[in-house]
């Protein structure tokens, strides 16, 4: 099976490194540094010493850009991050213990070109699917995390993404760890048809149970967070944050423009647009994200709950 090969090639085997307890739904224990940035960086960034900012056109030294968390030092443009890069800059030690790394997509509808698309995305990103889930700590506060990767078939949600998110939410509920999501997705994955659509219901139900148990859920919209992911679990955080300039919306701009026969303003569906329309709690720069999450975690960890709060 080619998924197996994918793992074999990298020489990763289950059972290596600090072990998770068996209870963790067959999670593959991973080396602590596996998801850290340096190991992956070479892959994610095109060859060459410089990169051009798509927003202001500045020519930036790659090293300088990376030192600045991939934010353009001139205009503040936030370059999209891969899931491993996001994990590296967000969690203590730059890593999380990953859950459910064994789950891989089938092609349940025998949809034209889907298997090839999956294989290509796996090859190119080194990931198995569009979301990485697991547990880690942020400034010492334990959390269950789900980090999406927009490079993997546009970060779209099929059966595996839905399952991993649902399991992560269930784990957060079981452990009573806050659930932190970094969303980056074009929406539900067309190639799995109705099964993708139903993942919206599944993930929404899982975070509903998390909410009923009184566990915090912080959802961070990164570029882009759209369609069926916004309209399900990602949209259901107790606290909704976004990175500056991120595209956030239900329907794509082009389809809306075709429907209403009208050109939409440039800021339409940006984080700033959503904030102005009362749909976000805050826009948080990449530099401020980790301290902001830590602050929110602290605010939910101290003192006591009154009024029957669990």
Partner 1 sequence: MANELPFERSLLDLELKIRELKAFMAEKGIDLRDEIERLEARARALAEELYRNLGPWERVLVARHPERPTTLEIVEHVFEDFFELHGERLYGDDPAVVGGIALFEGLPVTVIGHQKGKTTEEQIRRNFGMPHPEGNRKALRLLRQAEKFGRPVITFVNTPGAYPGKGAEERGQGLAIAENLWTMAGLRVPIVTFVVGEGASGGALALAVADRMYMLEYAWFTVISPEGAAALIWRDAKESPRAAEALRLTAQDLHELGVIDAIVPEPLGGAHKDPEAVYGEIRRFLRLALDELLSLPPEDLIERRYRRLRSVGRFSSLFSSVDGDEAAKEEDRHPDGTRS
Q: Which of residues 139-198 bind partner 1 (CB under 8 A)?
A: 158-160, 162-163, 166, 170-171, 173-175, 188-190, 192-198
| Distance in Å, CB of 258 to partner 1, minimum | 8
Q: Is position 113 an interface residue for partner 1 (rule: CB under 8 A)? A: yes
Q: Is position 239 an interface residue for partner 1 (rule: CB under 8 A)? A: no
Q: Which is nearer to partner 1, 45 or 231 (CB)?
A: 231
**Quick one: residue 183, left, alpha or beta (phi over 0 = left, psi -120 to 50 = alpha)?**
beta
* Contact of 197 with 234, CB cutoff 8 Å: no
Q: Which is nearer to partner 1, 61 or 250 (CB)?
A: 250
Q: Is position 26 an interface residue for partner 1 (rule: CB under 8 A)? A: yes
Task: Identify the three-state secondary structure at position 186.
Answer: coil
Residue 136 contacts by C-beta under 8 Å, 6 or more apart in sequence? 87, 91, 92, 93, 95, 96, 97, 142, 143, 145
Q: Is position 228 an interface residue for partner 1 (rule: CB under 8 A)? A: yes
| Distance in Å, CB of 4 to partner 1, minimum | 6
Q: Is position 21 an interface residue for partner 1 (rule: CB under 8 A)? A: no
Q: Which is nearer to partner 1, 89 or 197 (CB)?
A: 197
Q: Is position 103 an interface residue for partner 1 (rule: CB under 8 A)? A: yes
Q: Is position 45 an interface residue for partner 1 (rule: CB under 8 A)? A: no
d(CA 122, CA 81): 17
Q: Pick one of 88, 168, 236, 241: the residue that binds partner 1 (CB under 8 A).
A: 236
DSSP character string of 12-37: --TT-SSPPPTTTTTPPP--TTTT-H
Helix 159-175 × helix 193-212 angle, to 10°:
10
Q: Which is nearer to partner 1, 173 or 286 (CB)?
A: 173
* Contact of 196 with 189, CB cutoff 8 Å: yes
Burial zone of 144 (CB within 10 Å; 0-12 exposed, 13-18 middle, 19+ buried): buried
Q: Is position 301 an interface residue for partner 1 (rule: CB under 8 A)? A: no
Question: Which residues inside 83-102 make contact with partner 1, applying CB under 8 A?
Answer: 102
Among candidate residues 207, 274, 276, the one with its CA nearest the CA of residue 236: 207
Q: Pick one of 19, 59, 268, 285: the residue that binds partner 1 (CB under 8 A).
A: 268
Q: Is position 272 an interface residue for partner 1 (rule: CB under 8 A)? A: no
Residue 260 contacts by C-beta under 8 Å, 6 or more apart in sequence? none
Number of residues that bind partner 1 (CB under 8 A): 74
Q: Which is nearer to partner 1, 263 or 304 (CB)?
A: 263
């Amino acid at each position: 099976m080619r998924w197996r090969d994918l793992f074999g090639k990298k020489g990763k085997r289950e059972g290596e490194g600090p072990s998770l307890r068996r209870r963790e739904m067959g999670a593959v224990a991973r080396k602590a540094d596996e998801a850290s940035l340096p190991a992956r960086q070479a892959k994610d960034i095109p060859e060459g010493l410089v990169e051009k900012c798509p927003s202001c056109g500045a020519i930036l030294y790659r090293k300088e850009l990376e030192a600045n968390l991939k934010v353009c030092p001139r205009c503040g443009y936030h370059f999209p991050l891969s899931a491993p890069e996001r994990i590296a800059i967000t969690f203590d030690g730059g890593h999380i213990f990953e859950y459910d790394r064994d789950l891989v997509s089938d092609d349940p509808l025998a949809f034209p070109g889907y298997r090839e698309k999956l294989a290509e995305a796996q090859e190119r990103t080194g990931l198995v699917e569009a979301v990485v889930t697991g547990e880690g700590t942020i400034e010492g506060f334990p959390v269950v995390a789900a980090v999406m990767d927009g490079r993997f078939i546009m970060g779209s949600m099929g059966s595996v993404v839905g399952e991993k998110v649902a399991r992560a939410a269930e784990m957060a509920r079981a452990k009573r760890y806050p659930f932190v999501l970094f969303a980056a997705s074009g929406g539900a994955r067309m190639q799995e048809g109705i099964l993708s659509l139903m993942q919206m219901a599944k993930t929404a139900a899982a975070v509903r149970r998390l909410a009923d148990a009184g566990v915090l859920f912080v959802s961070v919209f990164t570029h882009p967070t759209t369609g069926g992911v916004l309209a399900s679990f990602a949209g259901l955080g107790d606290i909704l944050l976004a990175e500056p300039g991120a595209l956030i919306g239900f329907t794509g701009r082009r389809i809306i423009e075709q429907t209403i026969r009208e050109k939409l303003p440039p800021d339409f569906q940006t984080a700033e647009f959503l904030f102005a329309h009362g749909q976000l709690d805050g826009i948080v720069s990449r530099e401020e994200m980790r301290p902001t999450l830590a602050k929110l975690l602290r605010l939910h960890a101290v003192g006591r709950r009154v009024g029957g709060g669990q």
